[in-house]
Structures are given as structure tokens and as C-alpha cells.
A and B are shown apart, each in its own frame.
Chain A
Amino acid sequence: MSDVKIKITDRDGVLHEIDAPTDMNMNLMEVVRSYELAPEGTIGICGGMAMCASCQCYVKSDHDLPEKSDDEEAMLAEAFNVEDNSRLGCQLHITEDLEGLEVELAPEEV
């Protein structure tokens, strides 16, 4: 078992450096929730089915991330505040490849 270090900037602009476990079948959205970096009810609303965009984040580091699935692609086509580096946190599985990842949470949709 091992953890990876991830830098997450929350919606208030505060940077958090956290350890994310690679052996707990977690995705980035769940890591954000477990560290309570965004209030419950404002992130991961659909539960991780790529069916809302509440876990949208901007990837700041140049990690080679897995391709977007059709579901993620389609959701990001409808979401707001989407940038070229937007991803859905729920679709990013925590693996060793994410060591040093830097992301920023997208603003909450109102």
C-alpha cells in the first residue's frame, strides 16, 4: 500500500497538500470529500456516475491522465466553466501515476 501526494486548491483558493491512498479504490472526488475540502452536498452530487459536474476540476500539472470516457466527455460538454484542462474528479482513479498531481476545484454551479 502507498499514498500519493496531491495538491488541491479549493473553491476559496486555499491550497491543500494531501495524501491520497492508492489502495482504497478511491477517485479524486471521493478524496476531496474525505478531506472535506468542499461542503457536503456541493460535490459528488450524483455519487460518481459522471452525471453531474459538481466534481469538475482543472488539472494544473502536466500528468498523463487516462482518456475521458464518452460519459465524462458528454457531461463536460454540458457543464459550465469548462476549460481545456477540465476533468471530472469522480472519473480520476487514484493510482501511483497521480503522484504530484495538482488540481483546482471548479466553481460551484449556482
Chain B
Amino acid sequence: MITTDILIIGAGPTGLFAVFEAGLLKLKCHLIDALPQAGGQCSEIYPKKPIYDIPGFPEVLAGDLVANLMEQIKPFQPGFTLGERAETIEKLEDGSFIVTTNKGTKHHAPIVAIAGGLGSFEPRKPQLENLDKFEDNGVAYIIRNPEVYRNKKVLIAGGGDSALDWAIFLAAIAKEVTLVHRRNEFRGALDSVEKVQELKNLGKINLITPAEVVALQGSANLTAVVLEKTDTKEQMTIQTDNFIPLFGLSPKLGPIADWGLEIEKNAIKVDNTLDYQTNIPGIYAVGDVNTYPGKLKLILCGFHEATLMCQSAYQRIHPDKKYVMKYTTVGGVTGFDGSKKEAPKAVVKSID
């Protein structure tokens, strides 16, 4: 069981900055994120794109903003559970919470702050009849253990880096690899595209473009897929044991939607007049995941929300204490790692 003061769900910019504000109040944080790295959308969707409305930064790349936030919160030693999605929440008698991830990792904290952005990133699934039925029976969206495909027939669909890279990788171990894409052009690193071309010429990858998977066949397990050529509408059936659609990720609010929180417009309703608390005391929602009258989904607004949330969390954890806000310029920053940053003291000395 992981224990902490504030359990933050979502390690995007808002969740990361909450660690800093909590740290100033001597509260420890732990973050859960479904993605394998911190930074949320900034790292996953647009790391190389510039942002122009972070106060004090005329221009900053999203990836650099995340790197800076990680540096800023380092003294407060946040814990991370990455690559796992927060699945269930349980309220204990003392008012604290246990949040369990899809992999069974348990987290215990008196405060839960949902900074989930657009939700957790899930694989985009093609719209095919019977798709659910074949999930785990031949259809997979993520390759966890490539060994599963040894000496098997595999059909990959998609035109991006992951489709190219896995086609290359599996060509070495699978019995047969077919790569299907709706366009003739692939979008990926030049090496990958060239490597696939080479493997195709060697007959190691069966490339079918422009085409799309239109139907799945099989009784219990997948045995074949039906393709349709995008240009000629000609259909063909390919015998295969595995179908791996790799169409990237899209965000879904996911299991959080079932936590009993008030949801409006795919976002969590919070009290914006005070502390961004949800309808469940002790659970807060900050950043893009929340909504209130006049809400703007901006990183800078998330920072503000996270700051006020931490003050309220402090009061819940220490109802008997009164916190007097101190400027970092005055009080400095004392990390849990023993580090101390402070403004240089002026000297009082006479000049002869």
C-alpha cells in the first residue's frame, strides 16, 4: 500500500505543479498516470509544440515545460505510479480514500486530487462488429509480450510509428506479418519506413495498401479478417491468428466517471468559489478535467486551481492549524530531501 497526503490522479502540468504547492505546505504527494511518462498531453500529444501563454515564458515547448516542472518539484520527492489507470475508489470510515489501479496497486490518502485532463489515454478501437468478442481472443491493441506472436500469423493495421515498428519487430519472430494501411503513404521515422520497404521486398512483410479491415471472422478465436481495398472496393479474406489495430491513443474520462462524482459536459463539477472540491468531500478536481461557470481549459488556470486546492487540503488534514501564506521569496523552499533554496540575505555592514 502506497500512502501519501495528497493522491494526485494525472501527472500533467496541473498535477505536477500541485506537488510544488503541496510541498510548500509540507504535504507529500503521489501521482498516478495511465501513460508511461509524466507530462500528460504535453508529453504525449505535443511535446515539440510551443505554448505562448505561460506567465513569464514568452514561448516554451510543451516538453520543456514538463521538464521544468519536474525540476521544480524534485525537492518534494513525489512518488509516481505510471502506466496504470486509477480504477476504483473506496472511502474509509475515517474519511480517507483507497484508490486502486487497473494493475491492482493500492494507494491510501486523506485527499484525492483528480488532475486527469481529458481522461486517460486509451487505444483507439476500429469500429468493427464483434470486436469485443475477439478482444484477448486474437485482437489486441497493445503488444505487451511479443513472444505471444512467435510462429503465429499476425495482421497489423495502422500507418504510424507503432504500426511500422511492430511490423518490423514481429517480422523476425512471427510466422507471417501482414501490414494494412488505408493510405499508400506511411507516417513515421524514415528508418522505419525504409526498413518496412526492405522487409516487404524480401517477402517478410506482406504489405496491403490502401486497404482497411472491414470484418472479423472466427468462432471462439479469430481465424481471419476481411479487408477491403480502399481504391477498388475489392474484398479479400486473410487467414490470421492475430489482429493488432494500432491507431494511436485517445483520451477517455474512463472509470472516474463511475466514482459518484457530479459530471457535466464530460467534466467533473467543482466549487470554483472556494477550493475546487467535488460533490464528495476530500475529492478535488483541478485543471482540464473540471468544470464550473466560466471555466477555461488553460494550463495557467490549472496552476491556480491546484494552488487553492492545496490550501483546502491542508485545512482538511490539519483542521486545528492555521496556515499563514508565505511568499517563496521570503520563506524560501525547503525540500523533503533536505535541500533549501532561499533568497540571498542582504549584508548590514558599514563602509569606511
Residues of A within 8 A of B (CB): 39-42, 45-47, 49, 51-52, 74, 77-78, 80-82, 109-110
> Is A109 within 8 A of B46, CB to CB?
no
> Is B45 within 8 A of A39, CB to CB?
no
Q: Which residues of B contact A81 (CB under 8 A)?
A: 127
Q: Which residues of B contact A110 (CB under 8 A)?
A: 125, 127
Measured in the bound complex, the distance between the Cα atoms of B181 and A80 in whole Å is: 12
* Residue B335 CB within 8 A of the other chain: no
Quick one: which of A40, A41, A74 has the most chain B CB within 10 A? A41
* Residue B247 CB within 8 A of the other chain: yes
Seed contacts A46-B41, A46-B45; 8 additional CB < 8 Å A-B pairs: A41-B266, A41-B267, A47-B297, A49-B46, A49-B49, A74-B160, A77-B185, A110-B125
* Residue B248 CB within 8 A of the other chain: yes
> Is B251 within 8 A of A45, CB to CB?
yes
Q: Which residues of B contact A80 (CB under 8 A)?
A: 124, 126-127, 247
Cβ 8 A contact of B159, one of A45, A52, A78: A78
- A85 to B: closest C-beta gap in Å: 15
A80: nearest chain-B partner, CB-CB? B127
A54: nearest chain-B partner, CB-CB? B250
> Is B124 within 8 A of A109, CB to CB?
yes
Per-residue contact bits, chain B 168-189, to A (CB 8 Å; 1 contact, 0 not): 0000000000000111010100
Query: Can you report 5 residue pairs joining A to B where beta carbons are below 8 Å apart?
Result: A46-B41, A49-B45, A74-B159, A80-B124, A81-B127
Cβ 8 A contact of A78, one of B118, B158, B267: B158
* Residue B318 CB within 8 A of the other chain: no
Q: Which residues of A contact B185 (CB under 8 A)?
A: 77
Cβ 8 A contact of B118, one of A45, A74, A82, A109: A45
* Residue B265 CB within 8 A of the other chain: yes
> Is B250 within 8 A of A52, CB to CB?
yes
- A53 to B: closest C-beta gap in Å: 9
Measured in the bound complex, the distance between the Cα atoms of B297 and A52 in whole Å is: 17
Cβ 8 A contact of A77, one of B118, B125, B182: B182
- B53 to A: closest C-beta gap in Å: 12
Measured in the bound complex, the distance between the Cα atoms of B45 and A51 in whole Å is: 7
Q: Which residues of A contact B266 (CB under 8 A)?
A: 39-42
Measured in the bound complex, the distance between the Cα atoms of B122 and A110 in whole Å is: 11
Q: Which residues of A contact B297 (CB under 8 A)?
A: 47
Q: Which residues of B contact A77 (CB under 8 A)?
A: 159, 181-183, 185, 187
Measured in the bound complex, the distance between the Cα atoms of B299 and A30 in whole Å is: 19
> Is A45 within 8 A of B250, CB to CB?
yes
- A104 to B: closest C-beta gap in Å: 17
> Is B49 within 8 A of A78, CB to CB?
no
Measured in the bound complex, the distance between the Cα atoms of B296 and A40 in whole Å is: 12
Q: Which residues of A contact B46 (CB under 8 A)?
A: 49, 51
Q: Which residues of A contact B265 (CB under 8 A)?
A: 39-41
Which 3 pairs of residues, A with B, have the shortest CB-CB distance? Answer: A41-B266, A40-B265, A74-B187
Per-residue contact bits, chain B 45-83, to A (CB 8 Å; 1 contact, 0 not): 110010000000000000000000000000000000000
A77: nearest chain-B partner, CB-CB? B183
Per-residue contact bits, chain B 24-52, to A (CB 8 Å; 1 contact, 0 not): 00000000000000000100011001000
A45: nearest chain-B partner, CB-CB? B118
B41: nearest chain-A partner, CB-CB? A46
- A47 to B: closest C-beta gap in Å: 8
Measured in the bound complex, the distance between the Cα atoms of B181 and A54 in whole Å is: 20
